[in-house]
Chain A
Amino acid sequence: MLPFLAILVSWALIASLCAGDPKRRRALRTTGGQTPATRRLIAAAACLPGLLCLAAGDPAAFLIWLGGSGLAGWATALWFNRAAAPR
């Protein structure tokens, strides 16, 4: 349950990072996006669930979180750009 929750929380924050990513938005010719300070804050928050797994003395959950978050990030990048791809 712990790794599931950790991945879900991180995934939500990664999705927020992706949605507000200035470079991605520029590539789609849209303006706006998060400021660097906001992005650093969200990125740090996205790492917190993994650190909590370690602090809880559960290295297995940490590794699952690390792998799961990587996959979640990749899937998010694919999804956001798929939705925006020209038809």
Chain B
Amino acid sequence: MIHLSKEKTKLMVAVHGWSGILLGLLLYAVVLTGTAAVFAEEVGIWSAGHVRTTSAFARPLDSAIRDLAAHTPERFHEGVNLFEMGDHDLGVYFHRDEMAGGRPITRGVYYRIDAEGRLASAQRGTDEEIFGPSNDDALKTFLVDTHVRLHLPNPWGLLLTGILGLAMLVAAISGLLIHRHLLKDIFTLRRSANPVLVDRDRHSVAGTWSLPFAFVLAFTGSFFSFYGTVGVPIVAMAAFGGDVGALNETVYGNPGKADPRPAPVGNLDRIMADATRRAGGVPTFVGIEKFGRADAEITSYHQPAAGDLEPATLLYRGATGQFERVKPAIGTRASAGGSLVGIMAPMHFGNFAGLLSKAVWFALGFAMCYVSLTGFRLWLVRRRGEARSLDWLDRTVTTVAVGLPVALIASAVAFIIAMPEGTAVFWTPAAFVIASAAVIAGAALMRSPAAFERALWLAMAIGMLILPPLRLALGGPGWAAAIDAGQPIIPALDLAFLAAGGWLTWRTKPRRAVTSEPLATLMPAE
């Protein structure tokens, strides 16, 4: 492998250790919530009891959009976004672009059309006012927001998660450089050696096997965090005099001659059917620019086709409904850069090949969590016996490592209870905060580290075991009904929670020969 001098190796070990220690717990929080967020769609379906399987874009929507357009002030016809909400309802957002305090925003009217084609709600305001979490997706939104920006306000949350992604890259590169026998040690897990070697083996074996994905996930994650917060403003400042709108128009827009003459939009149902046929699947999002004008353009966005990584984007002429071209992620012509940008999201989210790719990404996220925590343990074990006690850090690691999933489970329990009452938007994060406070209080008050850790594992086990019966008791769809409706993910997640809860209960039951050592923190991966 790569051979460094003794001094450089020492420096790299210090960089690796301190980058992990200073940012590791936050990074663990981001990676753990990201791991859960891989299945955010499925968690949303399971938690809210959504049983419809037909996409809003597979149902007729043309006449509904025309009716809404007739009732919407023309100043909001500048753009119309179509997307799915809740249980395959159709969200329709007529809007125009504005600047507020130097920031680009959109203002308009948002409609929600249910699966029967009825208008479920209408709301007027800016995108920030309209698109917060809703009662039936509060859990999903909470998970994703924790992962994306740790609930900090924009842009600070994104900047922090971007820095954490860079820290993960630094740790992966320095780990690669300091490990001289990366391949020779790839199967060696000594169990009866001294604690430093045992922890080192655990950390390095898991880290080596998941190394390619540490790079992929850290790089793509940092890309998403810094793209809007740093990249776009800098490029706009350098090349467009600070005009972000002009940059977006140049990079993502569809250049052409302006033609403001009024012209009815082409048949949207026919466009949706054609886009579905060309892309091999229904759109996930549709944007209509200059609605009702002769130069209107319709863009449909799709998941990658089978066997492909790059999502498909199709462009249609708005007035005629005629297919124009396949649109690259950036620019007007296909390019390597455009393709790279296009595959960033599938590579990060693992959603390019259905449940199989998601399952692999979920497990890889779990491996990253394991690597973070074994790294912490190794750092602590190496310093055991030094003059200054690091027991507080040891307990902090346990508190975050096991307490965070406990708090996430608590927020899921709260969501299941509060959603039927319509108060899930409040109680989902509130339960997380309450559970976190309880875990921190336990860490401060309980004297025995082993008892504290066992209590946390048991709390997690109990939380997982009560989720499925609670969901069913509060009116969630039963297994037979869900399978009949084509949503096997609902019983699958129930079974996953029951199995994980049962296994944790079995794993944490008191053994005859209990030592004073705490339980191995990382037991789920073993």
Contact = CB atoms under 8 A, between A and B. Distances in A.
A21 B212 contact: no
Contact of A77 (B205, B347, B352, B360): B205
A64 B357 contact: yes
A57 to B, nearest CB: 7
B501 to A, nearest CB: 22
Contacts of A80: 187
B189 A77 contact: yes
Given A23-B184, A24-B187, 19 more contacts: A21-B187, A23-B185, A23-B188, A60-B309, A60-B352, A63-B309, A63-B357, A64-B356, A67-B360, A67-B363, A70-B211, A71-B367, A74-B205, A74-B210, A78-B205, A80-B187, A81-B187, A82-B526, A85-B191
Given A60-B352, A60-B357, A81-B191, A66 B309 contact: no
Q: Interface of chain B, helix or strand or loop or mixed?
A: loop
16 contacts: A24-B188, A57-B307, A59-B309, A60-B353, A64-B356, A67-B350, A67-B361, A68-B360, A71-B367, A73-B186, A77-B186, A77-B209, A78-B525, A84-B191, A85-B192, A86-B192
Contacts of B309: 59-60, 63
B365 to A, nearest CB: 10
A71 B184 contact: no
B187 A63 contact: no
Nearest to B181: A23
A1 to B, nearest CB: 10
A17 interface: yes
B160 interface: no
Indicate the size class of the contact surface on chain A: 20 to 34
B190 A71 contact: no
B526 A71 contact: no
B352 A74 contact: no
Contacts of B291: none
Given A3-B353, A59-B308, A86-B192, A67 B187 contact: no
Interface string B183-209: 011111111110000000000011001
B476 interface: no
Contacts of B193: 27
A17 B209 CA distance: 14
Contact of A66 (B187, B190, B212, B304): B212
A68 B210 CA distance: 10
Nearest to A18: B187
